Amino acid sequence: MSIEIESISKQFTKKGKEINALDNISLKIKEGSFVGLLGPNGAGKTTLTKILTTLLLPSSGEAYIDGISIKEDKKIRQIIGAVFGETGGRSLYYRLSILDNLMFYGTLSGLSKTVAKKRIQSLLNYFDLEEKKNTLVMKLSTGMKAKVLLIRSLVPFPKVLLLDEPTLGFDAESSEKAKDLLNEFNREFGTTILLTSHNFPEIDELTSRLILIDSGKIVQDCAPAVFKQKVIQEYIHLIFSLPPLPADGFKMSQLPTEIFKKLVRDSAGAEVTSLKEKDGLNFVYEVTIQPIEYSLNETISRITVLILRASGEIYKIAPYMPSLKESFLAFLAMNKTNSALEPEAKEEIFTFPMQEEDV
Ligand SMILES: Nc1ncnc2c1ncn2[C@@H]1O[C@H](COP(=O)(O)OP(=O)(O)OP(=O)(O)O)[C@@H](O)[C@H]1O
Ligand SMILES: [Mg+2]
């Protein structure tokens, strides 16, 4: 089932001030895709997810899931599964056990008792909650409650999953399990998934499309790998030595840098971006190299051949690939620098000390 979002805006009023939580968002998410929603605190991710799950009405704009308008809340709720990690605790009955909660929601979604029970049992087993199934929700730890909420969203095998920080509070092992399971739902059942998370590896490993929102606007929309490359270039970190040059030859400080750079350019189609002497006595150099003509791996093998042919020795040759988190932080910093130049943002900064004086 596809998701279509058309010019959605949402304003909140807080202490008489209007907040633009979503500013004219339009998106098309194809059936069966796994999309990540990323953004700093307050970007508008939960607001967007709540609008899609019919928990909030947009101020303007429209959205459709499988062609059904989100105004038709009953129909929409029948076809989606949703998790809100941050406020999730409130959507379970605290005085009921895990099993009673899950059976209640499972049968509410139209499943027979037998089918609901079978699915619930296997999901409880999967997340090591089987022994706790008769425990009241109010006695569960944060992570356990989060697991129950994720299970609750999966029991009906919905065609669309809208997940807002679903693994918040999960321990490392359960996080991995959740990743595997979501991946399976997407691949095996073709479930369309929109996943919001501050857990970067989760977004990086699972999704094939990344939507980054900041201050209610979409600021990036591409594959995670493409985003990473756009923001921080990958490079090669190399530590190597060359044999000493003939007796009357060069000292380290006389390393024919330009010759080395040219060799790298000619034989590996790459650019030496930094070169320093690491151990002058032993002719050891440390360099960074930017692949240009060939892929990272191809460049590494070409440089290896180049150094070995010159009878040099390699101590380290490793690709540096930025993580999604590093790229995300670099991107936000860049965005901030750009908007700091705009007059509107400057005004914000200058009003801050004045407010303090008022107090
Ligand atoms: N009920 C509300 N009343 C007033 N303002 C709200 C309300 N809900 C959200 N906001 C504001 O809307 C903006 C977007 O909030 P939202 O919860 O969607 O952010 P988010 O991207 O989910 O952030 P986080 O990463 O912290 O979960 C914020 O400025 C927030 O303060
Ligand atoms: Mg949120």
pLDDT digit string (tens) for 49-91? 999 999 999 999 999 999 999 999 999 999 999 998 765 456 7
Statement to judge: residues 336 and 262 lie in one domain? no
Sequence letter at residue 56: L
Rounded to whole angstroms, the Cα distance separating 156 from 13 reads 36
Look at the chain and report how many structural domains it folds into: 3
Q: List the residue whose alpha carbon is closest to atom 2 of ligand 1.
A: 12
Q: Whole-model pTM?
A: 0.84
What's the 43 CA to ligand 1 centre distance in angstroms?
A: 7
DSSP state of 258: H
Statement to judge: residues 189 and 245 lie in one domain? no
What's the 169 CA to ligand 2 centre distance in angstroms?
A: 14
Rounded to whole angstroms, the Cα distance separating 3 from 350 reads 41
Q: List the residue whose alpha carbon is closest to atom 24 of ligand 1.
A: 41
What's the 41 CA to ligand 1 centre distance in angstroms?
A: 8
Statement to judge: residues 213 and 337 lie in one domain? no
Rounded to whole angstroms, the Cα distance separating 4 from 26 reads 8
- For the chain, what percent of residues have pLDDT higher than 70? 89
The CATH number linked to 310 is 3.30.70.260
Find the domain containing 350 and state its range.
324-358
SS3 of residue 238 by DSSP: strand
Statement to judge: residues 99 and 202 lie in one domain? yes
Sequence letter at residue 303: I
Statement to judge: residues 151 and 240 lie in one domain? no
- Where b means 16+ CB within 10 Å and e means fewer, 193-227 reads bbbbbbbbebbbebbebbbbbbbbebebeeebeeb
| Residue that finishes a domain, picked among 179, 196, 230 | 230
pLDDT digits (tens, 9 = 90+) for 127-181: 999 999 999 999 999 999 999 999 999 999 999 999 999 999 999 999 999 999 9
Q: What is the mean pLDDT of the chain?
A: 89
Statement to judge: residues 217 and 264 lie in one domain? no
Statement to judge: residues 243 and 273 lie in one domain? yes
For residue 279 the two structure tokens come to 């151990």
What's the 341 CA to ligand 1 centre distance in angstroms?
A: 25
Statement to judge: residues 53 and 68 lie in one domain? yes
Ligand number nearest to the C-alpha of 9: 1
Statement to judge: residues 119 and 183 lie in one domain? yes
Ligand number nearest to the C-alpha of 22: 1
- For the chain, what percent of residues have pLDDT higher than 90? 76
What's the 115 CA to ligand 1 centre distance in angstroms?
A: 37
Tell me, using a 6 A CB cutoff, whether residue 236 lines ligand 1: no
pLDDT at 248 over 60: no
Rounded to whole angstroms, the Cα distance separating 233 from 352 reads 36
For residue 246 the two structure tokens come to 């003939």
Band (pLDDT 50/70/90 cuts) for residue 274 is very high
Nearest to 120 by CA among 93, 78, 94, 156: 156
Tell me, using a 6 A CB cutoff, whether residue 54 lines ligand 1: no
Statement to judge: residues 134 and 246 lie in one domain? no
The sheet carrying 217-222 orders its strands as 80-84, 160-164, 192-196, 34-38, 209-214, 217-222
Residue 68, Cβ neighbours under 10 Å: how many? 15
Chain centre distance of CA 348: 29
Statement to judge: residues 76 and 209 lie in one domain? yes
What's the 42 CA to ligand 2 centre distance in angstroms?
A: 7
Helix, strand, coil shares of the chain, percent, nearest 5, are: 45, 30, 30
Tell me, using a 6 A CB cutoff, whether residue 44 lines ligand 1: yes
Tell me, using a 6 A CB cutoff, whether residue 13 lines ligand 1: no
Backbone angles phi and psi of 331, in degrees to 5: -65, -45
Statement to judge: residues 97 and 210 lie in one domain? yes
Tell me, using a 6 A CB cutoff, whether residue 21 lines ligand 1: yes
Judge whether 46 and 196 are in contact, CB under 8 Å: yes
Question: What is the position in ligand 1's atom list of the atom closest to the CA of 48?
Answer: 18
